[in-house]
Amino acid sequence: MLAQHDAPIIAIATAPGRGAVGIVRVSGKNLGALIQALCGRGLKPREATYMPLPDETGAPIDHVLALHFPGPNSYTGEDVLELQAHGGPVVLQLILARCLRVAASLNQQGVPLLGGLRLAQPGEFTQRAFLNHKLDLAQAEAVADLIDASTEAAARGASRSLAGAFSNEIHQLRDALIHLRMLVEATLDFPEEDIDFLKQADAQGQLNRLQHNLARVMAQTKQGALLREGIRVVIAGQPNAGKSSLLNALAGAELAIVTPIAGTTRDVVQQTIQIDGVPLHVVDTAGLREHPDVDEVERIGIARAWEQIGQADAVLFLHDLTRKDDAAYAAADLQIEQTLQGKLDAHVPVLHLWNKADAQSTAAALPTQATHLTLSAKTGDGLPALRQQLLHLVGWQGGGAEGMFMARGRHVQALHEVDEHLMLANASLQAQVPALDLLAEELRLSQNALNAITGEFTSDDLLGVIFSSFCIGK
């Protein structure tokens, strides 16, 4: 749930641990009295002041840079005080405690200098920026995405979202939708105008253009979600097909133990790599087999492998090229493939990889589909083609990272809701006897779904979930 946002808050705004510089941040209304008591002087707005910060005995805790950002021209929209000190955890805790004690001290009227000052909850500074209309919700989420970015492309995309690139696209869709709603609502208010009025105003053309622009934004948003959340790729196959070797080759490190003994991999091993700036979460799993020698530990590993496969965005089904003509091996591969078809959603791609090409003396006759690749996890042959095919299978278009903005799964879902409502609106408009009341309702629901992206129509529960994922001090 959202925290009470009218009380002043304080937190250490830099990462835990030792560092060159650490920051203690205070946000609230009317910080002047606290600043005067804490620093012994007033501070010029937005001007750094180098000074000793004394404790209650007058001895300096540290020499700090003090900055005062009066509201509403601050990050949170409230008065903000930042104290930049040496980045030792003890020093920062001493400054934090000093601020709390000064805030609780009484003035001449017997009133605390800054009553109610408390430690900030995770994300509460950015939450206040949102509540005070300094950022919309998509921009606020981009703050966390920028901090969490694991690739250069992700950082650039988050920066563009923070600057408002994604929000601007949503606002343009919303403005067009509002204009169309005005026409429909006016027709409902003046039924004598009826359909002729909508035809003259090109309501159908406006709706078509809106759907076209929505499709473009949806495609961009899907790319942004891939950039932020990455792709979960599960390597599956029989024992000794080379799954762990493939994970090691993709990661460029010896992460998984590789031996010729069947059942070596007993548990899930995961590593995140990047391809063209897209995070790729590669999961190695236990070999899939049914054999009397399978013990209880390996059986649990196989069960976990199937669990991972069920959560995959893409599956790499690894085959051993050297055993391709072994009838028992081929039958087991076929059984795994049939089980995959039953466990995976239709939209989850399965890429068939024929490994150990380096050990195959003659070229084997393999299927020619794009979903079948030959490679060698040992030598690295075929890995570049595998990387590019993976991006293609999950819909990464690439080439436009400079213009890419960051997005989240909830944004993609909200835009799908808009698309569904607009399709129903189009059906209502094109009916032999247009149902204008249904058309108006679908357009209203479309606008609500758009507003949920930027936070203009969002439940407090959703806000609580979003901001609780931030770090404390941000």
Known binding-site residue numbers for K(+): 240, 259, 261, 264
CA–CA distance, 43 with 31 (Å, rounded to integer)? 11
Contact of 49 with 43, CB cutoff 8 Å: yes
CA neighbours within 13 Å on the CB side: how many for 252? 4
CA–CA distance, 300 with 90 (Å, rounded to integer)? 46
Per DSSP, the three-state class of 181 is helix
Contact of 358 with 381, CB cutoff 8 Å: yes
Give the E-state strand segments of 308-464 in sequence order.
Answer: 314-320, 350-355, 372-374
Single out the residue of 25, 30, 113 nearest to residue 75, CA to CA: 25
User: Per residue, what are the HEC states of 135-146?
Assistant: CCHHHHHHHHHH
C-alpha separations of 278 from 9, 272, 275, 282 in Å: 37, 10, 5, 12
C-alpha separations of 52 from 20, 37, 104, 423 in Å: 17, 13, 21, 64
Per DSSP, the three-state class of 301 is helix
Q: Which residues are annotated as a binding site?
A: 25, 82, 134, 240-245, 259-265, 284-287, 355-358, 474
Strand ordering across the sheet containing 269-275: 269-275, 278-284, 231-237, 314-320, 350-355, 372-374
Residue 401 carries which DSSP code? G
CA–CA distance, 92 with 119 (Å, rounded to integer)? 14
Phi–psi pair at 104, nearest 5 degrees: -85, -10
CA–CA distance, 64 with 56 (Å, rounded to integer)? 16
Q: Which residues are annotated as a binding site for (6S)-5-formyl-5,6,7,8-tetrahydrofolate?
A: 25, 82, 134, 474
The interaxial angle of helices 243-251 and 383-393, nearest 10 deg, is: 90
Q: Which residues are annotated as a binding site for GTP?
A: 240-245, 259-265, 284-287, 355-358
Residue 155's DSSP bridge partners are: none
Q: Which residues are annotated as a binding site for Mg(2+)?
A: 244, 265
